[in-house]
Structure 1
């Protein structure tokens, strides 16, 4: 299988990113792997997508840091390939990290992914669905039972009214964002105006009910093909414990990954959101759960597999690449007759 991975920028990838692990795993399973930043995609005169990509190194090293250094080496040769050369394209770039003078890059992966898809490449997650989901409004299309009470607005007075209805304790954050950036717990009205106005300069503001269970962090679950990913009966799940004084539990801002139990509540929440994820071609999703509610869906570049493998001593990444292999096999059987969104979540 020839598979491309789209990232924000090769130079900014990290050893603990799931993309690093997934490309490494694909190489070790014998596949030809190409890694490309969104700025090195192009549209060609014959209608195909072009990629100026780094070919993932063949290495027996089990050290992801050494592996990362090999493909980030500025002297490493780049190859120009096209969508003709690929069986699959895995979009792993995070639009919310593209700010300032790289705002052009926010939707680039999805747009070029659509070109590749139209030329017969299996694109994960489905690029048309990603265009509607890369901000948090997508979450509001799921059943109310799984979501915290929420309003989305740029009006300070509207948010202040919601604050009062929620007995003076809410969480506010930007509609477009990830990784815990600009997330605030408001338990008094002193700075509410200032914080809402600051976030609103760049777009809409999400105001959510505060869930008391958030003091214990959140639970990240990985879904593949709309179902909880499991290997040898062990689910891809972890608890992320907050750093003292911080409501955010994201690992890169100081949250600590620990083992978590797959409860009936978590199973039910994942079962409720699964059908829509399947319909929309969301091959891989990260679900963040607090108490009996889902706080966020992560669909652009869901992470956590690196930590989960260390906690559970199982190769979840191997199962993800195997799932892609099966899809490519069925794609060849049906010679392009299966729609991308259907094939993206086909569980065989």
Structure 2
């Protein structure tokens, strides 16, 4: 089996904390060929979509240490047709150019893509949660999205909340997330000027501040519609963002029964959209964000809860590839039968 990972930059991987690297290593331990692709290196040659792939290799035994594994990996670069991969896993931070989805569209019927191209296209930004249809805010916070500075001002003025969260529609890792206090909005115009330009194409999210947010949030890893693990992210002193990239710390966490029910409910929708490997960010019983492109957390959950979630992910990849092969064989058999009947 040949598996490709679309990532940002192999040279900038943090081996200790990279969920992607843990999955890559597991694939290679099982004897699979692994290649790395960058979105900037996708190309079309004679109407066929290709990628300049870095195919990984290791001389001798694969080291147990993830750091040693990363350092020992070398690669050959070769132009490979995307349909030659058994699976393509998208592991790049958002946003992703719509053109990349067009490249992947060409092979989505031949190759397993995780997550599904149409699902990623639908959930490529934080508007995706609006498709969950939770007007009563039972498991989603009150959320407003607009590219109009005037409208954002109006929502803040009408709100009874003392605090609100302002963040860009596209973004990851906690970048651009700020807490707005209603009695201290003198700099709001400057903030909105930074987020929204005159093109009308930049949007911001204004979201209710959930009680308990000061203590951080919970990252839940979802695989095939099921919660397979979670951990608590606590913000650093003087920081309101709990993301590990912004200095947050990781702590063991067990989902509550109500959180499990919410994850199961949302999980059905995720699977129906082809979003199999997803990270949910929760505070209490509210889902703040759905991360479908490059959700991290496997390494922290593994260490804290003594799990091996990367093995579960590779098991799932195997399952989807075998499923695709079986469908192809079945289709070829039906086509042959039809041809025989015509003769």
TM, length-normalised to structure 2: 0.88
What are the residue-to-residue correspondences of 1:252-331 with 2, within 5 Å?
252-331=245-324
Deviations 1:215-271 (A, max 9, x none): 110000011111112xxxxxx110000112221111011110100111012112212
Q: Return the offset for 1:57.
A: 2.6
Stretch moving more, 219-228 or 186-195: 186-195
1:197 equivalent in structure 2: 193
Do residues 168 (structure 1) and 168 (structure 2) align? no
Local SS of the residue matching 1:282: coil
What are the residue-to-residue correspondences of 1:12-23 with 2, within 5 Å?
12-15=12-15, 16-23=17-24
Q: Distance in 2 between matches of 1:9 and 1:38?
A: 10
Q: Distance in 2 between matches of 1:122 and 1:48?
A: 17
Answer whether contact 1:124 1:282 (CA < 8 A) is retained.
yes
Answer whether contact 1:94 1:106 (CA < 8 A) is retained.
no
1:151 equivalent in structure 2: 144
2:234 equivalent in structure 1: 241
1:32 equivalent in structure 2: 33
How many residues are aligned here?
A: 319
What are the residue-to-residue correspondences of 1:206-225 with 2, within 5 Å?
206-225=205-224
Q: Return the offset for 1:189.
A: 1.3
Answer whether contact 1:265 1:292 (CA < 8 A) is retained.
yes
1:81 equivalent in structure 2: 80
Do residues 122 (structure 1) and 122 (structure 2) align? no
Cα 1:333/1:167, change in 2 over 3 Å? closer
2:52 equivalent in structure 1: 52
Q: Distance in 1 between matches of 2:155 and 2:239?
A: 23
Q: Return the offset for 1:162.
A: 2.1
Q: Distance in 2 between matches of 1:259 and 1:212?
A: 21
Local SS of the residue matching 1:332: helix
Q: Return the offset for 1:77.
A: 2.3
1:102 equivalent in structure 2: none
Q: Distance in 1 between matches of 2:64 and 2:98?
A: 33
Q: Return the offset for 1:303.
A: 0.8
Answer whether contact 1:217 1:242 (CA < 8 A) is retained.
yes
Answer whether contact 2:56 2:76 (CA < 8 A) is retained.
no
TM, length-normalised to structure 1: 0.86
Q: Return the offset for 1:14.
A: 2.5
Local SS of the residue matching 1:220: strand
Q: Distance in 1 between matches of 2:101 and 2:67?
A: 28
Local SS of the residue matching 2:186: coil
* 4+ residue runs over 6 A deviation: none
Answer whether contact 1:57 1:67 (CA < 8 A) is retained.
no
Answer whether contact 2:161 2:208 (CA < 8 A) is retained.
no
Deviations 1:30-81 (A, max 9, x none): 2111111111112231x4321211222335212222333344x6xx421222
1:62 equivalent in structure 2: 64
Q: Structure 2: which 5+ runs fail to align?
A: 332-343
Q: Distance in 1 between matches of 2:180 and 2:126?
A: 20
CA-based RMSD of the aligned residues comes to 1.9
Q: Structure 1: which 5+ runs fail to align?
A: 97-104, 230-235, 339-348
Answer whether contact 1:219 1:289 (CA < 8 A) is retained.
yes
Local SS of the residue matching 1:180: coil
Cα 1:171/1:336, change in 2 over 3 Å? farther
